[in-house]
Amino acid sequence: MKNRWAGRHVAETIFKGLMLFSFGLVAGSLALILWTVISKGLPSLSWSMLTQAPQGGYYLGKAGGVLNATLGSLYMAGGGTLLALFLGLPIALYLETYLGRSVWSRYVRLALDVLWGIPSIVYGAIGFIIMLAIGMRASMLGGIIALTLLELPILTRAIDEVIRMMPRDLEQAALALGATPLEVATRVITRQMLPGIITGVLLAFGRGIGDAASVLFTAGYTDRMPSSLLRPVASLPLAVYFQLSMPYPEVQNRAYAAALILTFIVLVVSLSSRWLGGKLGKFIIK
C-alpha cells in the first residue's frame, strides 16, 4: 500500500508545489508587465497621440503625438523584414534542397548562429561605421540596413527550422517524379511550409520593430514625419526611451502611452502569426 507520508512522496509534493509556483511566477510576470503597461499607458493615450507628429514644445508637455515614430518604426521594420526575407528565404531553401548535410551547410548554419548571437547594439555600431565610411548620415535607409542585419539570422534560422521539420517523403516523391531541386523548393516546400514561413517572418518583424539599440545611431531621431529614405526617422522604441528620460511628468506619461502602442503592435503581430498559422495550416499535407 502507498504510504502517503514516506519521504519520497513528501518530496514529490513539495517539488510539485515549487514547480507550480515557478510556473505561476513566469505567467504572473507576463500578466504584471502587461497590466503595468496598460494601466499606465491607457490614461495618457489619446487620439492626438496616435494621429499627430510632435508639435512645438511637445517635450515640455504641449500638444502632439507619436505618429511620426509609429510610422517610422513600421516603415523600417517592414523594409528590414522584406530585405531579410528576400535574402533569407533563398538561403534557407538552398540549405535544405541543394545542400542537405554537406560541410558548407554546416558553416552557413554556424555563421547564422553567430550572427544571431551578436547583440543589436553591435549591429547598430557596425551600421554606423559603414555609414561613416560611405559618407551617409543617420537616415531611414541606415535603419533599414541595420534591421536587415539584425533580422536576417532570426528569419533564416526560423524558416530553416521549419523546413527541417517537413516530412521527407513529400520532397522525395516530387524528386522521384522528375522535379528539379528548384521546383521542389518553390512548388513543394514553400507551399507546404507557408504557415511556418509566415510565422518566421512575423517573428523577425516583431523583433525588428521593438529593437532600439540597432536604430539608435543608424536611423537617428526627428520630430518630422518620415518622408525620405535619406532623412533621419523617428522610431517608437526610441520615442519611449527619450520621452521617459525627460523630467516632466506629462512627457513621461506619453512615454507610457508610446510603450502601450508598441506593445499593442507587437502583440497583434504575435497573435496574428498564430492565427494565420492555424488558418493556413488547413492547406498543408499532413
Q: Which of the residues 103 through 162 are near another protein (CB under 8 A)?
A: 104, 107-108, 110-115, 117-122, 124-126, 128-129, 149, 152-153, 156
Instruction: For residue 58, state whether it binds another protein (rule: CB under 8 A).
Output: no
Instruction: For residue 207, state whether it binds another protein (rule: CB under 8 A).
Output: yes
| Short-list 122, 194, 215, 110, CA closest to 157 | 110
Instruction: For residue 9, state whether it binds another protein (rule: CB under 8 A).
Output: yes
- Give the Å distances, CA to CA, from 1 to 7, 11, 16, 226, 264: 15, 18, 22, 74, 55
Phi, psi (5° rounding) for residue 9?
-75, -35
Cβ distance to another protein smaller for residue 36 or 55: 36
Instruction: For residue 203, state whether it binds another protein (rule: CB under 8 A).
Output: yes
* Beta carbons of 113 and 153 less than 8 angstroms apart: yes
Cβ distance to another protein smaller for residue 117 or 282: 117
Rg (C-alpha) for the chain, rounded Å, is: 23
How many CB atoms neighbour CB 258 within 10 A? Answer: 27
Instruction: For residue 222, state whether it binds another protein (rule: CB under 8 A).
Output: no
Instruction: For residue 42, state whether it binds another protein (rule: CB under 8 A).
Output: no
Cell of residue 235, nine digits: 522610431
4, 5, 26, 282: residue in contact with another protein (rule CB under 8 A): 26
How far separated are the first and last CA of the chain, in Å rounded?
A: 46
Instruction: For residue 27, state whether it binds another protein (rule: CB under 8 A).
Output: yes
Instruction: For residue 259, state whether it binds another protein (rule: CB under 8 A).
Output: yes
Instruction: For residue 20, state whether it binds another protein (rule: CB under 8 A).
Output: yes
Cβ distance to another protein smaller for residue 39 or 55: 39
Ramachandran region of residue 132, left (φ > 0), alpha (ψ -120 to 50) or beta?
alpha
* Beta carbons of 83 and 270 less than 8 angstroms apart: no
Cβ distance to another protein smaller for residue 12 or 169: 12
Q: Kindly indicate which of the ranges 54-62, 83-91, 166-174, 225-233 contains the residues binding another protein, using the contact rule CB under 8 A.
A: 83-91
* Beta carbons of 201 and 151 less than 8 angstroms apart: no
Instruction: For residue 29, state whether it binds another protein (rule: CB under 8 A).
Output: yes
